[in-house]
Amino acid sequence: MGTEIFHTTVTERNSFRTCRRAWHLGAIERLAPRRSKRWYFMFGDMVHAALEAYYKHDRDVGVAIEVLKAEWENHDMQLRDEYEYGFTQELAEEWYAEYEKASTMLLYYDKYDKTHPFFDRVLDMSIEERTYIPILDLDGKEIPDAYLSGRIDMVVEREDGVWVVDHKTLSAPPSDSALDIDDQITGYCYIYYRMTGVIPRGG
């Protein structure tokens, strides 16, 4: 039997501080509320994949839409296999509406991005990759078999420095309250600093 490795993520840390029971049920037991749909996560996954294609193909929104459609079709097959006869026409229409909503989001994202570009160039993209860094003790020494991880969407460069970008698909308007001490974006900036020695300007 090998040595057990402790591993926590930037997003898990936030939920752990908010409610330890909810964190355990979700992060450890992998449970979800009864009758809940998995569309929220699927929606985020396919939009992230589309945005990755968008920037890897020189901001080509057509390519992004193609990737979005392929991702939606893949999740559609998964849902039909999972729900079987419970995947009614009503659910199918509701799920297709999610695809249409994502397509519209990408079109408006592209329009705004080309009109008001936030950054000059992309330094790194790792949307589908998880980065691990050793956790340090109070003396700055690495704790054996203990890691912090996170998935950084993009690292970009502007005239004022390096920025970490984290794409969000939200059901409500975002709030910038206490954004400067937000656990998730702070964690991503810290991970990038540990990897490169460069302190990001922000995120």
- How many other CB atoms are there within 10 angstroms of residue 111's CB atom? 11
- For position 1, what pLDDT does the model report? 36
pLDDT tens digits along 112-122? 999 998 888 88
Low-confidence ranges of the chain (pLDDT < 70): 1-7, 26-38, 126-128, 170-182
| Helix axes of 89-115 and 61-83: crossing angle, nearest 10 degrees | 160
User: Among 54, 68, 174, which Cα is nearest to 109's?
Assistant: 54
